[in-house]
Structure 1
Amino acid sequence: MGSISASLPAPAKPPVDISDYPKLDRKQAGHLRHFHNLVSQADGEWHHFGGLEGHQELDEAYRYQLATMAYAAGVAHYHRLPAMRGPFKKLLRRIIHKMLLRQVWGYWFNTSHSGYVFDPDLPEIRKPWADPVIKENIMYSGHLLLMTSLYAMLFDDDEFEKEGSLTFRWDPLFWDRKQDFVYSNRTLQKVIFEQMEENGWVGVCCEPNAVFVVCNQFPVSELRSLQARLTAQIIAMRYNDSRDGTDNVHEVLKKYKAALVAKGMIGDSGLYTSYYNLRQQKAMPPRQGTHTAWANAFMNTWNSSEVRARYDNHVTGFLTNVDGKTRLNASRVGLAFRKLVFEDGADPQSPETLAQARQICNKFISPVVPFETISWVTFTMMLSELGKKKELGDLHEYVDARLEPTWEKGGLYYPRNDELFDSEYNMIHMEPHSGNAGIGYSRLNVEDGQKKMWDKPWTKEILEGRPYVDGIGFADGVDFLRGLWDEEARAIIVTLRSWSGEDHSIAMQVKNLPKGNWAVYIDAGLKETVEDADFVDITESVGTDEVDIIVARI
């Protein structure tokens, strides 16, 4: 850094009005802090993570909560706080660390036995294996691939591209045999790609013999609607292409499109099919709407026109209008509603249709899975991505009024509630995937948030040309409300606030500045000037009141 200068002339006030720059509101900042609080727990502690299904087999499992937190942090950094590289890098790195713990992926040893739900013709239970990514299990490997590709794209960091950076240690205490399964982001992508090819491009299995299009979304049809659980693999491949200067993704898309059409993976009901049984060569019909919504939240990246065209059909029954407000219904109510509308000709706008659906909804309980499906996370994520502000606002208003928003250590979450309905059939169910991560994602995302990242991923050149903040993180006791570089004004704008009200002395650096003379303003007043510098050190006390920091070229 250049020397601090007392004589270097600078305007007494900053060249920009900080109110011109949007900032996070209290709830948005609270969600980010809750993510930090959760992943800052000691390894082995999973406070707030636990759900009804305790074996990590369903949609509220640790892996899905962690993945959604990573994606929420990604959209918040990319769209809202792009200059806060240091804090978000630490947060995303910690989330990935948790994703690699055996408690997250160890379920696979049991699941790899296979079973008769997804493979009714199975002659006998298979011999299990512990490696969680070598075959099948795209519901874990796909998310891990995207999380590490997202990390590389956002921070131009090759940590997880190095061999051994993704190592899974299988070390049950009394086995007295330890196994390390060693991968990197690229070798993981290669394993997934090879399984796609082996399965005739229809996808990679989640559970044995079951290819959930909702879990794959590796490539997506340009003309047909497909589904996926977070479209993890194809977005990861897109980010990796942007780093490697390759174009693998479009070739995979082409092959996947042909396979999905040939295998009948598009359902007639309007909802996406559930999964494809490899052995039986059969696509199974949809059993709920939440996977379709989950897929759409990310399929909007490359298939936006189709996602938007089918939106009204996809939400029928699951989202209904009650006294002018959008309300989310439980899956069983939504399925009953859809039968009344699409099969019996009932009026989708009539309150009587909803009332009747509530009366017959128990006929639509899954005979196989005795747990309620996740809903808040998937539908709010989809609404945020598609820019459905009125509908999303109504759902946020509802969960804030009825589902006990809770503040803990500066973090905001919605606690688990196993009850499905109140006395009037309003849905009050809340599971940890939605309460810890999904609703937060929907508040932090912007319209076309994933699509914009798909269209314009950050490249090495972009990041090398933009100043950023480092040396500070969520563990320093402050929330980050603003953090951006204004290229036209040649100024970086940061707003901090202590989440607890206690004063915190923070020390941060603004790095990668174009070399020159810089003025540092605190709360619109000139603090100091720095001469001939390409980075600036700032030390400041941050308490209950927001502190605005501007570093501007002079």
Structure 2
Amino acid sequence: MASEKQPSLSNQLGPDLSNYPTMNKQQAGHVRHFLNLVSQADGSWDRMGALEGMQEFNDAYRYQLATMAYAVANTHFHRTPALRSVYKPLFRRIIHKMLRRDVWGYWFLTSHSGKLTEPDRTELRKPWADPVKKENIMYSGHLLLMTSLYAMLFDDDEFEKPNSLVFKWDPLFWGLGTETYSYDNRTLQKVILKEMEQNNWVGVCCEPNLVFVVCNQFPIIAVRYNDIRDGTNHADEVIKQYRAAWDAKGMVFPNGMFADMLMLKQDLIFPQEGAPYGAQAGQQIGFTAWANAFMNAWNSDLVWSLFDKQALGHITRTKGKYRLHPTNVAHAFRHLVSTRNADPASEETLEQALRESQKLPLSPVPFHPPTYGVVCQWLSELGKTEELEDLLGYADTNLNPTWENGGLYYPREDEQQPDSADITFMEPFSGNAAIGYGRLNVHNGQKIMWERPWTKELLSTRPYLDGMTMSNGVDYLRGGYDEAKQMLFFTATTWNGVPTMLNPVARNLASGDWAVYVDRQFKEVIPVEEGGSLTTEVRVADVPVDVVFIRTRTQQ
């Protein structure tokens, strides 16, 4: 029944939301593209095809899916925290794809090992198909963080239940029958931490015998979220041991770059420090930038202290704009600065570096690394706004930004122009996921979630919006709750301009009269009991519509 306050409310304009930031068209477009990709029928991977067909390189399905999940997590946590029903099914769909055999089946061949990762090997190992049993942190670490984030963001224990992470190995014409491997989030964590300890805490291998710094950041963060849910404190001990192990090995080179990887049995770090200039392709920024984007959660002093050293030559300011350069150009630039006292702020140094780079050998890896996207992730996490905006602007001008069914992505381009100091290639990891992550993340996005993750208690009491999804072409530009004003709100539009009706449900409300406003126009007032909910109907079309639920008085 309508409240006695309704007549006076009907003559008032509702709250102005202009002080609450909205996502822009590009940001909404990235989220829509994630949805488009994971809404494909199982087995369809349009736009996601990797440069290396066996899913062994850095743009494989697993990396694209994990980065989409992290981008969705950052968007929900930092930009639209009230929109639980919008992001939960999207996140769940990404995890569903991550569990597909198409994504993890590469491991059976990789588990044989080989001379590239173990130079002394003379025969192959006996293989195993279980993708998380041992090694393979480049899959298991991402899966652990994805499922830990899902629990933290939505207070849903689905993947904490026994046998909730199931891998079925059932190639059609191979084997003696289906093999099934069952885990859950916590048993997966135990496997990972046990192997970290066995490796003296330097981390878990990605490929056989190779421990990469970047890939071990993701499980470390996951342990923190699980600690919050369980009331434990494993993360502090893991970090203590991990720091000590890498302090002894030397994670940071004198030039500021991180070691890419440790060859475990040989106790050798790569790339090898002090290798002659030109003897190998220059150390790429990709693994260092990618590690920084997530290490900032727990080790921000180190990450910040190294930025200038690490960015030197890779990111320069030219013609008034920041640009990211191909690895060999950056390698030549850094060499000119360190050995010939070249001016790092001079465009002449960049021009000379381009000429020098053409004399250097190409990388022995036949694929371009996903540099552009991980650098955008790194810059966004550190709040390097000018550098990030310039790189995003360059992508929007030169890397073929493409809109499809309301989603924004940068399509694959395999060729890097040899006479260009700018990036001209694009791979699906950056184009589908990592550039979008960079645009959606906020300064210290990972660090803030690490320090102040959502808890069960918070989510059980904080008002949120339900009953809304991204179906029917609806995009959500903001959605939050202002505790001081007792106000729940969202802004929505349709990407295709087709009108649709929404039936948002406001939940976890305090007792009292709640007024509903649409574009600041009073619509109705509804009395709510403590912890109750209310529902309304809103028409959404091509012009963004603001919807506000605000508590006007307590119940007597």
**TM-score, scaled to structure 2:** 0.94
Q: Provide the C-alpha distance between the structure 1 equivalents of 2:286 and 2:57, rounded to a whole number of angstroms.
A: 13
1:521 Cα shift? 1.1
Three-state SS of the structure 2 residue aligned to 1:535 is strand
1:332 Cα shift? 1.9
Q: Equivalent residue for 1:317?
A: 313
User: What 5-or-longer segments of structure 1 have no aligned partner?
Assistant: 217-230
Q: Equivalent residue for 2:240?
A: 254
Aligned 1:465-504 pairs, distance under 5 A:
465-504=461-500
**1:241 matched to 2:227:** yes
The one-character-per-residue Cα deviations of 1:266-289 (angstroms, maximum 9, x if unpaired) are 323321112111111111226311
Aligned 1:271-420 pairs, distance under 5 A:
271-285=257-271, 287-365=283-361, 367-420=363-416
Kept in 2: contact 1:81–1:483 (CA 8 A): yes
Q: Equivalent residue for 1:223?
A: none
The one-character-per-residue Cα deviations of 1:196-247 (angstroms, maximum 9, x if unpaired) are 011111110000000111221xxxxxxxxxxxxxx21111011111111111
Three-state SS of the structure 2 residue aligned to 1:43 is coil
The one-character-per-residue Cα deviations of 1:482-510 (angstroms, maximum 9, x if unpaired) are 10011111111111101110111222211
**1:435 matched to 2:431:** yes
Kept in 1: contact 2:107–2:129 (CA 8 A): yes
Q: Provide the C-alpha distance between the structure 2 equivalents of 1:365 and 1:243, rounded to a whole number of angstroms.
A: 50
Aligned 1:64-103 pairs, distance under 5 A:
64-103=63-102
Match of 2:544 among 543, 546, 554: 546
Q: Equivalent residue for 2:163?
A: 164
Aligned 1:510-525 pairs, distance under 5 A:
510-525=506-521
Q: Equivalent residue for 1:105?
A: 104
Three-state SS of the structure 1 residue aligned to 2:57 is coil
1:367 Cα shift? 4.6
Q: Equivalent residue for 1:507?
A: 503
**1:537 matched to 2:535:** yes
Kept in 2: contact 1:267–1:285 (CA 8 A): no
Q: Which runs of 4+ in 1 moved over 4 A?
A: 3-10, 362-367
Kept in 1: contact 2:51–2:57 (CA 8 A): no
Cα 1:296–1:365 shift into 2, 3 Å: farther
Three-state SS of the structure 2 residue aligned to 1:19 is coil
Query: Identity across aligned pairs (percent)?
Result: 54
Aligned 1:64-213 pairs, distance under 5 A:
64-175=63-174, 177-213=177-213
Amino acid at match of 1:410: G
The one-character-per-residue Cα deviations of 1:344-394 (angstroms, maximum 9, x if unpaired) are 432212222212221232455555311111111111111111111111111
Three-state SS of the structure 2 residue aligned to 1:20 is coil
Three-state SS of the structure 2 residue aligned to 1:251 is helix
Cα 1:315–1:378 shift into 2, 3 Å: same
Three-state SS of the structure 1 residue aligned to 2:522 is strand
Q: Provide the C-alpha distance between the structure 2 equivalents of 1:112 and 1:10, rounded to a whole number of angstroms.
A: 71
Q: Kindly report the root-mean-square deviation, in angstroms, between the aligned alpha carbons of the 2 structures.
A: 1.6
The one-character-per-residue Cα deviations of 1:424-476 (angstroms, maximum 9, x if unpaired) are 44321111111111111111111111111111000111112211111111123
1:538 Cα shift? 1.9
Kept in 2: contact 1:51–1:416 (CA 8 A): no
Amino acid at match of 2:146: M
Three-state SS of the structure 2 residue aligned to 1:150 is helix
Q: How many residues align?
A: 538
The one-character-per-residue Cα deviations of 1:103-151 (angstroms, maximum 9, x if unpaired) are 0111111111111112101131111110000100000000010011011
Amino acid at match of 1:23: T
User: What 5-or-longer segments of structure 2 have no aligned partner?
Assistant: 273-282
Q: Provide the C-alpha distance between the structure 2 equivalents of 1:15 and 1:488, rounded to a whole number of angstroms.
A: 16
